Every structure is written in C-alpha cells, then in structure tokens.
C-alpha cells in the first residue's frame, strides 16, 4: 500500500483479533523475532528452569515446618538450607542468562528494524517526502523501534515468565489441594475480565499519544528549519502557543493511557486481596476445622500460601504484560505501515547504458501534481550533447519542475523524456542519476567538513582529486580562505556560511561527480554577479563536450548558452538560439525567479 496523499494510515485499522490482540501485530512481532529463534529458544528454556526453581522452593519451606521444627532434625535443616542456597544461586544464573539473551535480541531487532525502515523510506519519491513531515518519519524510524526494543528486552521476558509460572503454580496447587486451590483462584476470571475491559482504551490512548508526539516532533523540526521566518515575522509567541497545544495533546493522551493502566493495576490488586481472604478463610478451616487425619499440615498451608503469594503478582504481571503488548502493537503497526509502503520511485526496466552521451529529448511532456492543475503542457525540445541550454521564464512557469523530470525526482504525467534516445523510465535509477549532476538554488550541507561535503558526490574521490576539481572551476581561493580550508566544519555543528558560499560548495560537489549532464537550477542566484561572471565560464569550460541545463533569471548568463527555452505558463514560448531571444523583455518580465 502506498500513501501518496501524505497521510499515514491510522493504526486503528480494523484487524482481526485473537485473544484480544491484533493478529497482524502478533504475526509481525513473530516475524521480527524469527531470525533469532535459536537464541529465544535458549531463553525460554532458561525461563522454564527458572519456573521450576521457583516452584521447588516453597516445597523446601514446607519440609522445614513439617519435618524439621517438630522433630528437631538439624541435619535435615542444613540439607534444606544448602539446597535453598543452591536454588537461589541457580535462579539468578538462569535469570542472568535469559535477560542477557533478551537484551541482545532486543538490540538486534531494533538495529535491523531501523535499517529496514530507513532503506524503505530511501526508496520513496520526493512527492512522498513533500507530503510527510520529517519529524513524523523520524519518529517511525527511531521512536517506534525503541518502543518495540523495550518491549522485547523487558516486558516480553516478564510476560513469558509470568505465563510459565502461572501454569506451574496452578498445576501444583491443584495437585496439592484442589478445594483450597479453587477457593484461592475463584477471582482469576475477574482478572481476565478486567484486562479485556481496559485493553482497548489503553491501546487507543497509546496510539493517539504516539501520533501526537510524531506531529509535535515534525512541527518542532519544521520551526527550527524555518527559524529565520519565525524571527523575521516576530512569530515566537504564536509558535510557543502552537507547540504548547501540540505537546498538550500528547500529554492528555499519555495521561489517559496511564490512568487506564493504573486503574487496571488497582483493580487487579483489589482482586488479589479478595483471593487472599478466601485463601486464609478456607485454609484456616482446612488446618483447624478438619479431623486430625484429614487436616492440612501447617507446612503445606505455608507452602500453599507461598504459591498464592507468587500467583497473584504473576497474574498482575500477565495482565500488565498484555496491556504493554497492546501498547507495543501500536508501534509495530506504525513501523509496518512504513515497511508495507510500495516504493513510488520505480526502478525502470533495469537498462544500464554502456555509455552516456548526454542527448536529451522532451516529447510532449506534461506534468501535474495530484492536488493541483497542470504545471507543464506539451513541452517538446532537444538538447544535443555538449550544448548549454538555458531554461528561463517567470515564477511558476514550470522551470524547476521540468528539471526535476530529468533525474526522475518527478515523473511526467504525459509524454516522455529520452536520454540518448532511450526513455529514462527504462533506465536503472542508479545509472541515470549517476550520469547527472545537480546543483539547486536551495542548498544543503551536511554537518561535516568541506572535504566530506564535496566527497558526497564521489565518496571514493581522493583529496587531490577534490582539490583538482575545485581549482579547475576557480574556487580554490574561496575554500582556502575558510578557517581550516578543506577541513572546516560546516552545517549544524560547524561554521555558518552565507547562502552564496554554500552555493559555491554545492556547485563544486556537482562538478566532482564529473557528470555527463549537469543541471544548474538557479545554482548561482545568491552569488554576487561579479563572482558569478567569473565562475560560470569556469564551470562551462569544465563541462565542455557535455550537456548543461541552466535555469536562470539573469540575462547576462545567456551569452554563455547555445539555446534558450522560454517557458510561459507551462508551455514553450521560445525555443532557439540566444541571439533570437528578446533579452530585454526577459530582463523586465515580472518575478523571474525559481519556480
């Protein structure tokens, strides 16, 4: 399933349920744990051993009260004490082993899940990212996987141990005295009823809290990215109020879920108290009200009480574990909503061109966004290898949209785009994009050094190769003017650069790729005209013999191009050499900026 409308499906979808739990969530949890079945089997065996140890200990206590105290058997007492000491040591060894396995498996599942989520998101188109907030997506990758990790490491082992101990204790007490066991466990159906009553509202509240948290995170990241706009329009107070409303929704959902969870535990504790009253009432009758031959031995009653003392907390752990499974299932559903996404960036027919020459052909190309009217209409033109083609037009004419079709950031809704005579939809994406270099008006630098930012285009490039390209396009002086030259940290964790400086770095990054087709989408719009006048010829000299598409609103740059495509409301109004283009009207047309 693909969500091209930008809204993830709600985890409240109507799934079939078994035992009060979403079948899809349980099956998906089993799928996540599948690769670790051997380790999990070892952990379960350790928990079974731990259960056996816990059931044996009360029997030794019964021996002390029935055999040691009445008869003064010191040797037997020492034997029992030694056995108990050994059992406690064994219990802790088994607990340590099982806990170590669960922690390791939890970490591995979280690592693998985050890797799968990120890989899937990497194959989604730009349209998907434009319609889903970064904070929401990062919440799916990091927060939901963490909830699942914590469940596997903590709640799941406790729940499995509780189930095993519950089965072992019930079997033991019914074997010892079924009448007393029946009186002590009569409240268990009430525990189950309480769990079913609270299960759904707990999961709904948890899902709502996670959804509100993702929204709040997305809004927070958005406001940090747009902090200049916020401050420029004195919007701090409004944003404070908006953020407060956003996190208040999360708080309310969390409080609602915790309130149900606490109420469930309170009711469970009250039922435990009721069961203890039944136990002591009927147990006292069994010890004191029966004939000597039929009376329950004091040691057996103490052992029985010990079992019941373990049983009711175990029932609470089971109910608590079930409610936590309900909460974790919400995160599992949210994670699988991403994993179930169908990539909307098709790989094509896996044609790998042997050599790219750079001939571009647009054939009756049209494009329209799903929620808007057509942006491009019947666009047809050719760019020969080695040509420099300027794409000009007013704001909203479709210049940047047209450029986005070449590396398939967007797909044409009509017509086709050809590279060397082959429909680019038939080319492998990695080969297509490997032949194209792009420098955008809006720049982005990673929090790293200048060198590593440049190398992002070619991770295998040596330092000398990077410096060679920078020198060739006349940017060496600029880079060396920075505090640490190529090793200057930039981005969030480093030096603040002007937009023009960032554009120079991103332009050099595109050059380092040595592309067959270069797209300059107003890549020098923030660079002063004097520097631009010197830089563009160097770039075009570097690209000599290769294809360059240059979106610009500066008439002076047209003297460097071989042909001009003028877009007017999504249609070609001029296709020809720059000499025949009315540069005067171009320079005075309104709002000639990046579309």
Q: Is residue 16 part of a domain?
A: no
Give the pLDDT of residue 294: 67
Domain limits for position 225:
22-339
What's this model's pTM, rounded to 2 decimal places? 0.69
- 407 contacts: CB under 8 Å, gap ≥ 6: 432, 433, 436, 438, 519
User: Residue 188: left if φ>0, alpha if ψ -120 to 50, beta else—which one?
Assistant: alpha
Tokens of 511: 């050059």
- Claim to verify: residue 330 and residue 374 sit in the same structural domain: no
Burial 31-62 (b: 16+ CB within 10 A, else e): ebbeebeebbeebbebbbbbbbbbbebbbebb
Strands of the sheet with 388-393, listed across from one edge:
436-440, 517-521, 547-551, 388-393, 563-568, 571-576
First to last CA, the chain: 31
Counted residue by residue, the chain has a size of 595
Nearest C-alpha neighbor of 208 from the set 151, 267, 258, 250 = 250
- Claim to verify: residue 368 and residue 256 sit in the same structural domain: no
557 close to 536: Cβ distance less than 8 angstroms:
yes
Strands 563-568 and 571-576: antiparallel
- Claim to verify: residue 279 and residue 392 sit in the same structural domain: no
Q: Is residue 595 part of a domain?
A: no
- Claim to verify: residue 397 and residue 316 sit in the same structural domain: no
- Claim to verify: residue 325 and residue 403 sit in the same structural domain: no
270 alpha-carbon distance from chain centroid: 40
- Claim to verify: residue 301 and residue 391 sit in the same structural domain: no
Tokens of 306: 């010990």
223 close to 230: Cβ distance less than 8 angstroms:
yes
- Claim to verify: residue 136 and residue 231 sit in the same structural domain: yes
Q: Is residue 5 part of a domain?
A: no
Residue recorded with tokens 């000499």? 579
Phi, psi of 375 (to 5 degrees): -100, -40
Give the pLDDT of residue 15: 44
391 alpha-carbon distance from chain centroid: 38
- Claim to verify: residue 532 and residue 476 sit in the same structural domain: yes
* Residue 351: count of CB within 10 angstroms of its CB: 14
How far is 451 from 455, CA to CA, in rounded Å? 6
- 278 contacts: CB under 8 Å, gap ≥ 6: 183, 184, 186, 187
Distances (CA, A) of 458 to 455, 461, 510, 575: 5, 5, 9, 35
Q: Is residue 445 part of a domain?
A: yes
Dihedral of alpha carbons 250, 256, 257, 258, sign: positive
- Claim to verify: residue 291 and residue 375 sit in the same structural domain: no
Give the pLDDT of residue 43: 94
Q: Is residue 275 part of a domain?
A: yes
Give the pLDDT of residue 89: 95
How far is 492 from 29, CA to CA, in rounded Å? 37
Q: What is the 3-state secondary structure (H, E, C) of 83-105?
A: HHHHHHHHHHHHHHHHHHHHHHH
Q: Is residue 385 part of a domain?
A: yes
How far is 210 from 144, CA to CA, in rounded Å? 8
How far is 324 from 507, CA to CA, in rounded Å? 51
Q: One digit per residue, pLDDT tens: the chain, 595 residues?
A: 333 334 454 333 344 444 445 567 788 889 999 999 999 999 999 999 999 999 999 989 888 888 888 888 888 889 989 999 999 999 999 999 999 999 999 999 999 999 999 988 888 877 788 778 777 788 888 888 999 999 999 999 999 999 999 999 999 989 888 888 888 788 778 877 877 787 778 778 877 887 788 778 777 777 776 776 777 767 788 888 888 888 888 888 888 888 887 887 788 778 777 877 877 777 777 777 666 666 677 788 888 888 888 887 887 788 778 778 877 888 898 889 888 888 766 665 566 666 888 999 999 999 998 777 889 999 999 999 999 999 998 888 899 999 999 998 888 999 999 999 999 988 888 888 889 999 887 788 888 899 998 998 888 999 999 999 888 888 888 889 888 899 988 866 556 788 888 888 888 899 888 899 999 998 888 888 888 888 888 888 888 889 999 998 888 889 899 999 999 989 999 999 988 887 665 654 443 333 3
Q: Which of 310, 339, 368 is the last residue of a domain?
A: 339
CATH assignment of the domain containing 378 = 3.40.50.300
Give the pLDDT of residue 588: 47
- Counting the structural domains of the chain, the total is 2
Give the pLDDT of residue 575: 92
Give the pLDDT of residue 565: 93
Distances (CA, A) of 47 to 95, 98, 101, 155, 328: 7, 7, 11, 14, 22
How far is 430 from 58, CA to CA, in rounded Å? 67
Residue recorded with tokens 């059931």? 55
- Claim to verify: residue 416 and residue 304 sit in the same structural domain: no
Q: Is residue 174 part of a domain?
A: yes
- 468 contacts: CB under 8 Å, gap ≥ 6: none
345 close to 221: Cβ distance less than 8 angstroms:
no
Nearest C-alpha neighbor of 570 from the set 361, 373, 416, 407 = 373
- Claim to verify: residue 297 and residue 405 sit in the same structural domain: no
CATH assignment of the domain containing 277 = 1.20.1560.10
Q: Is residue 536 part of a domain?
A: yes
Residue 523 carries which DSSP code?
T
- Claim to verify: residue 367 and residue 288 sit in the same structural domain: no
Residue recorded with tokens 């299932």? 329
């Amino acid at each position: 399933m693909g969500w091209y409308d930008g809204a993830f499906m709600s985890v409240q979808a109507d799934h079939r349920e078994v035992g009060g739990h979403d079948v899809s969530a349980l099956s998906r949890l089993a799928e996540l744990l599948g690769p670790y079945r051997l380790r999990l089997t070892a952990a379960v065996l350790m928990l079974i051993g731990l259960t056996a140890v816990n059931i044996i200990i009360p029997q030794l206590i019964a021996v002390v009260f029935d055999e040691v105290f009445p008869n003064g058997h010191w040797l037997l007492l020492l034997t029992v004490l030694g056995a108990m000491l050994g059992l406690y040591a064994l219990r802790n060894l088994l607990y340590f082993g099982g806990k170590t396995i669960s922690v390791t498996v939890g970490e591995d599942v979280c690592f693998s899940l985050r890797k799968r989520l990120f890989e899937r998101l990497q194959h989604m188109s730009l349209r998907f990212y434009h319609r889903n907030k970064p904070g929401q997506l990062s919440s799916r990758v990091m927060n939901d996987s963490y909830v699942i990790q914590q469940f596997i490491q903590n709640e799941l082992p406790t729940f499995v141990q509780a189930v095993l101990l519950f089965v072992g204790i019930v079997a033991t007490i019914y074997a010892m005295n079924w009448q007393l066991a029946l009186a002590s466990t009569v409240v268990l159906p009430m525990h189950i009823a309480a769990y079913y009553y609270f299960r759904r509202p707990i999961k709904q509240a948890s899902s709502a809290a996670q959804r509100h948290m993702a929204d709040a995170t997305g809004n927070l990241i958005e406001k940090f990215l747009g902090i200049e706009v916020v401050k420029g329009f004195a919007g701090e107070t409004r944003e404070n109020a908006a953020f407060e409303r956003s996190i208040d929704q999360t708080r309310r959902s969390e409080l609602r879920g915790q309130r149900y969870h606490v109420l469930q535990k309170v009711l469970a504790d009250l039922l435990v108290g009721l069961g203890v009253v039944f136990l002591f009432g009927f147990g006292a009758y069994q010890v004191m009200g029966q004939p000597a031959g039929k009376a329950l031995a004091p040691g057996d009653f103490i052992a029985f009480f010990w079992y019941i003392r373990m049983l009711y907390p175990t029932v609470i752990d089971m109910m608590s574990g079930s409610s936590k499974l309900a909460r974790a299932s919400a995160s599992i559903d949210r994670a699988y909503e991403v994993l179930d996404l169908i990539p909307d960036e098709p790989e094509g027919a896996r044609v790998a061109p042997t050599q790219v020459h750079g001939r571009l052909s647009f054939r009756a190309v049209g494009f329209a966004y799903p929620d808007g009217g057509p942006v491009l209409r019947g666009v047809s033109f050719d760019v020969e290898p080695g040509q420099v083609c300027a794409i000009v037009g007013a704001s909203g004419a479709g210049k940047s949209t047209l450029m986005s079709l070449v590396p398939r950031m967007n797909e044409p809704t009509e017509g086709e785009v050809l590279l060397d005579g082959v429909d680019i939809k038939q080319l492998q994406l990695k080969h297509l994009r490997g032949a194209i270099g792009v420098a955008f008006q809006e720049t982005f630098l990673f929090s790293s050094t200048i060198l590593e930012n440049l190398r992002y285009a070619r991770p295998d490039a040596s330092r000398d190769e990077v410096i060679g390209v920078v020198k060739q396009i006349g940017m060496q002086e600029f880079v060396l003017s920075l505090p640490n030259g190529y090793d200057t940290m930039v981005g969030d964790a480093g030096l603040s650069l002007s937009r023009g400086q960032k554009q120079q770095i991103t332009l050099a990054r595109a050059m380092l790729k040595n592309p067959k087709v270069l797209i300059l989408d107003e890549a020098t719009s923030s660079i002063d005209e004097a520097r631009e006048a010197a830089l563009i010829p160097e770039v075009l000299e570097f690209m000599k013999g290769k294809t360059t598409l240059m979106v610009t609103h500066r008439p002076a740059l047209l003297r460097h191009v071989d042909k001009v495509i003028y877009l007017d409301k999504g249609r070609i109004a001029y296709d020809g050499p720059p000499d025949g283009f009315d540069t005067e009207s171009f320079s005075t047309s309104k709002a000639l900026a990046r579309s």
